Structure 1
Amino acid sequence: MNVSTSEKKWFALYTKPRWEKKVHEGLLKRGVDSWCPVQRIEKQWTDRKKIIEEPLFRSYVFVNIDFEPQRLKVLQTDGVLNFVHYLGKPAIIKDEEIDTIKRYLSEIDAKVELRTLQGFRTDTKVKITQGVFMDKEGTVLREGRKKVYVQLQSLGQVMVVEFSVAHLEQIG
């Protein structure tokens, strides 16, 4: 394993299903810098509506660690299944990607939907002209919709983010 131990890096962890918040709390108790991004969702029950915080990435939690000294401590935390691997090595998540997600989630009315890369066709390429995703490029999900794809390459997933059409500019 050739992961540098000279500085902390962000890694993604697989967790047991629906254990994201428990794993995050367990890691924090063990002194591990952990982040479980959540978004506020309105859920409808038969008798009431309730706003809940739901993990943004199902079965994922992020840790900011020096890999070798803290790897075992992380893996021994209840609910952690393994590090997410990319090309045979633990996937290092760029600070920029973590910061972008944090900034977006701090916006009022931020809505994010996640999809895997399989099954997506490339449509119109767009550039975002306002907000935290300004100058980022994406692909429109469907014509006439207000959603663009922003790929997080190190996770092999796509964020589908709602934008006003006024904040998009066609490119290419």
Structure 2
Amino acid sequence: MESWYLLHCKPREIERAEWHLQNQGFTTFCPRWKVQKRVGGKRKIALEPLFPNYLFIQVDLAKDNYTSLRSTRGINGFVRFGGQPARVPDSVISDIQCRTSADNESEEGVKGLYAKGTPVEILTGPFAGLKGLYDIADGESRCFVLLDMLGKAQRLELDEGDIIASS
């Protein structure tokens, strides 16, 4: 019976490994999520592996010839515990697939620390003690917070570590 296993890939060769495995007839899964990067001074949304250098593969160890996996370009080998390839439960794979597909289809692009509209309090800086609403994530550690100032919502860019959810 086919089960999911975890493969360790060589650095920056996960796409190559995935392509070669699919050409060999294996079912693979590389969960990806949206991240915002700064490239050439501009912000860009990119899909990156959720688990860098790791790839899930569906294989039947009793039937399939999985020894060819060791020599597949981009693959280091199975992740093993006690000398045996580590089996990943189907429920874990389906949960990851649901979560990453929802993230990849979202309009906002980047998952933030809080949901949009969450009341937050600023902890540091000149705006410390003020309360606002979490707007969206802006990269790996920054976010936008909406503050009500002068009768209008002002958008403020902060580090996510500088805010905390408030009631």
Same fold (TM over 0.5): yes
Larger radius of gyration: 2
TM-score (norm 2): 0.59
Residues 1:24 and 2:18 are matched in the alignment: yes
1:47-86 aligned at under 5 Å gives the runs 47-68=41-62, 69-86=64-81
Report the RMSD for the aligned CA atoms in angstroms. Answer: 2.3
| Residue 46 of structure 1, CA deviation | 3.6
For residues 1-172 of structure 1, the aligned pairs below 5 Å read 7-68=1-62, 69-107=64-102, 108=106, 111=111
Separation in 2, partners of 1:110, 1:72: 38
Is the Cα contact below 8 Å between 1:104 and 1:110 reproduced in 2?
no
Contact 1:35 1:63 in 2 (8 A): yes
Q: Is the 8 A contact 1:21 1:55 kept in 2?
A: no
Give secondary structure in 2 for the equivalent of 1:67.
coil
Shift of 1:67: 1.4
Q: CA deviation at 1:30?
A: 1.2
**SS of corresponding position for 2:58:** strand
Quick one: distance in 2 between partners of 1:17 and 1:67? 26
Aligned partners of 1:88 and 1:76: how far apart in 2? 18
Structure 1's unaligned 5+ residue stretches are 1-6, 113-164, 166-172
User: Is the 8 Å Cα contact of residues 32 and 74 (structure 1) preserved in structure 2?
Assistant: no
Aligned mates of 1:40, 1:22 — CA distance in 2: 20
**3-state SS of the aligned residue for 2:92?**
helix
Q: Contact 2:4 / 2:57 at 8 angstroms: preserved in 1?
A: yes
Contact 2:18 2:28 in 1 (8 A): yes
Superposition deviation, residue 110 in structure 1: 7.0
Task: Please state how far the C-alpha of 1:77 moved relative to its aligned partner.
Answer: 1.1
For these two proteins, the number of residue pairs brought into alignment is: 109
Output the amino acid matched with 1:85.
R
How far does residue 54 in structure 1 lie from its aligned partner after superposition? 0.6
What TM-score, normalized by structure 1, do the two folds share? 0.57
Contact 1:15 1:60 in 2 (8 A): yes
CA distance in 2, matches of 1:92, 1:111: 29
Distance 1:94 1:70 in 2: 21
Opposite residue 84 of structure 2, the aligned amino acid is K
Quote how far apart the aligned CAs of 1:111 are: 3.7
